[in-house]
Chain A
Amino acid sequence: MRLVFLPVSFWSGLSLGILLSLLLSPSWKYGVEYFGQAEFSNLTFKCDNAMRVHFVAKNKVAEQPNELSVQELKASEIGLLDCQEYDLYRKKLIRWGLSENEVSEMALRATEAKGKDLREVIKTHEIRY
């Protein structure tokens, strides 16, 4: 009995497996994006903010080279750990099966989350000199 049905079961199982993987792969990715978006958006903002704060702090040291400015710069350097947090989460999403392209799409969604109209999108994408 087994000898008869085993090959049939094997090929059906394999086909079913392939079919399921083809069908479930987008669902899996959608799930990862859906559940990961809020945290990713939060980390994207935090890293962006940390970079801006660090940039301003560096300029402040150049403009006002005093002890307080230096301390502020050092604090902003520690703040850049937010970007490491962002990077680690990005890598984690890739490990969970998303491609670079899909993660970039999530980043785009994060930056445009607060866009109420087209002007916000223009602000994000316009080329500035």
Chain B
Amino acid sequence: MKFAIKFWLLLIVAVFPIRPVFADDLRTRTLQRAALEAGLKPAKSTNIAVDPFLVDIGKTLFESKELSIARDTACSSCHLDQFGSADGLPVAIGTEASGFGNTRIVNGGDIIPRNVLPLWGRGDNGFDVLFWDGKVEKKQASLISQFGKGVPSDDPLVVAAMLPPVEIGEMFIDADGTDEFQTETLESATVIYDLLIERVKENSALGPKLASASQKEIQDLDFVDVANALAAFIRHNFRVQPTKLHRFVFQDEALTKSEIRGGLLFYGKGRCSLCHNGPFFSDLAFHSIPIQQIGFGKNGFGVDYGRFNVTLGTKDQHLFRTPPLLNVTKTGPYGHSGGANTVSEVITAHFDPLRYFPKPETDLVVRTELYLRLGKWTQSVLPGVVLDDEEVKDIETFLKTLNYDSEFSVTSK
């Protein structure tokens, strides 16, 4: 009897294998090679060493509301651990808000027209294009930013860190008494920087530590020293670290079947890696994905011209920088104005943008903008990609292999 059972079991195993082993091996090797060809590098290879004293005071400044004129907003108000260093909202709620996540909407505050960008890899070597529209960009030896020729640093992350404290509604309150600073000029920004650095100098928890870490006398501190410290913290805390995909490619750690399927779709027929490539899973170039526009838009009334606002070149209208994908599954909603709620939704919007949107009741301006963005999209490599829902789920599963945790936990009071 036992022999009979064994016989039949062996027969079943021999005759009906689900998939030959060689096929799995082919997929594993193909995925590893595709990831390398698309620019995946060992995590440490892009890291930049930073001074631990600067990192320490940088973290304190990152969590401090002293950097907003009204003392109501810190960097960590919108860059939170629980939302993968973003804020969990479609568009940011800046000054005059309180709480985290949805609470900020309920409590009310100044609405920023763009989705908060997470910070993963932002300070690593080669991450030279910052913000949705690339308003800070390092091109060879020069750094292009709103500062023009008076750029305070040749480090794009330092320049980027200088912007939120003077951005109206982001950390600079739009209220009576601040009108004189709302000229959006370098002169206004300089006055605000002077006010803020004086405040930092006078703060016993911030001034002496920043002076010491900056190796300066306290009276010699400039706001760029604050930005240097913030950049050091961001660079260190959110640096690229080994993910499951890194371990799969460089150490042969196994992936699940669904992760491998998703990876092959990502580098294969999904064509995701044609733009989401390199060590940060972004070509740091500008493209149009017709995701629903949420909110007022940078250009008003539901319009956001994206890269055009920086270059004024009409070919750049409606283009946005390819979002990096490290920790992407933690950072929803997605798109420059958070028009896609879930990872599946945003993946689908890349190849089937009309699946969920527009609805008949969608505002005419938003629909018109959609047509313009669709026009740009049709010139891209994405039309023609066909993925079913199961494949989209597989890609989402693969994207989870790009997750990792930051070194320090960020707190917000």
A91-118 interface mask toward B, CB cutoff 8 Å, 1 = contact, 0 = none?
0100110000000000000000000000
A122 at the interface (CB under 8 A from B): no
A72 at the interface (CB under 8 A from B): yes
Question: Are A95 and B34 in touch, CB under 8 angstroms?
Answer: no
By a CB distance below 8 angstroms, the chain B residues around A68 are: 274, 381
Question: Are A78 and B30 in touch, CB under 8 angstroms?
Answer: yes
Question: Are B16 and A72 in touch, CB under 8 angstroms?
Answer: no
**Whole-angstrom CA separation of A84 from B23 in the bound complex:** 8
B33-59 interface mask toward A, CB cutoff 8 Å, 1 = contact, 0 = none?
010010000000000000000000000
**Whole-angstrom CA separation of A85 from B114 in the bound complex:** 42
Question: Are A72 and B20 in touch, CB under 8 angstroms?
Answer: no
A61 at the interface (CB under 8 A from B): no
B2-23 interface mask toward A, CB cutoff 8 Å, 1 = contact, 0 = none?
0000000000000110011001
Residue of B nearest to A56 (CB): B384
By a CB distance below 8 angstroms, the chain A residues around B274 are: 68, 71-72, 75
Within 8 A of B (CB), among A59-101: 68, 71-72, 74-79, 81-82, 84, 88, 92, 95-96
By a CB distance below 8 angstroms, the chain A residues around B199 are: none
By a CB distance below 8 angstroms, the chain A residues around B16 are: 92, 95-96
Question: Are B264 and A81 in touch, CB under 8 angstroms?
Answer: yes
Residue of B nearest to A87 (CB): B23
By a CB distance below 8 angstroms, the chain B residues around A56 are: 384
Partner of B381, one of A49, A72, A74: A72
Question: Are B273 and A75 in touch, CB under 8 angstroms?
Answer: yes
Residue of B nearest to A69 (CB): B381
By a CB distance below 8 angstroms, the chain B residues around A92 are: 16
Question: Are A53 and B19 in touch, CB under 8 angstroms?
Answer: no
Partner of A49, one of B15, B26, B270, B386: B386
Partner of B268, one of A42, A78, A95: A78
Question: Are B269 and A79 in touch, CB under 8 angstroms?
Answer: yes
B271 at the interface (CB under 8 A from A): yes
Size class of the A contact interface (CB-based, 8 Å): 20 to 34
Question: Are A76 and B269 in touch, CB under 8 angstroms?
Answer: yes
By a CB distance below 8 angstroms, the chain A residues around B30 are: 78, 81
Question: Are B267 and A78 in touch, CB under 8 angstroms?
Answer: yes
Partner of A53, one of B15, B23, B384, B388: B384
Nearest Cβ on chain A to B39's Cβ, whole angstroms: 11
B249-282 interface mask toward A, CB cutoff 8 Å, 1 = contact, 0 = none?
0000000000000001001111101100000000
Question: Are A81 and B27 in touch, CB under 8 angstroms?
Answer: yes
Question: Are A74 and B269 in touch, CB under 8 angstroms?
Answer: no
By a CB distance below 8 angstroms, the chain B residues around A42 are: 388
B277-315 interface mask toward A, CB cutoff 8 Å, 1 = contact, 0 = none?
000000000000000000000000000000000000000
Partner of B269, one of A71, A75, A84, A88: A75
Nearest Cβ on chain A to B389's Cβ, whole angstroms: 12
Residue of B nearest to A89 (CB): B19
Nearest Cβ on chain A to B15's Cβ, whole angstroms: 6
Question: Are B264 and A75 in touch, CB under 8 angstroms?
Answer: no
By a CB distance below 8 angstroms, the chain A residues around B268 are: 75-79, 81
**Whole-angstrom CA separation of A82 from B265 in the bound complex:** 10
**Whole-angstrom CA separation of A92 from B19 in the bound complex:** 9
**Whole-angstrom CA separation of A42 from B27 in the bound complex:** 20
Within 8 A of B (CB), among A13-55: 42, 49-50, 53
Question: 29 A-B Cβ contacts within 8 A?
Answer: A50-B269, A53-B269, A53-B384, A68-B274, A71-B274, A72-B274, A74-B37, A75-B267, A75-B268, A75-B269, A75-B271, A75-B274, A76-B268, A78-B34, A78-B264, A78-B267, A78-B268, A78-B269, A81-B26, A81-B27, A82-B269, A84-B26, A88-B19, A88-B20, A88-B23, A92-B16, A95-B15, A95-B16, A96-B16
Interface residues of B, Cβ cutoff 8 Å to A:
15-16, 19-20, 23, 26-27, 30, 34, 37, 264, 267-271, 273-274, 381, 384, 386, 388
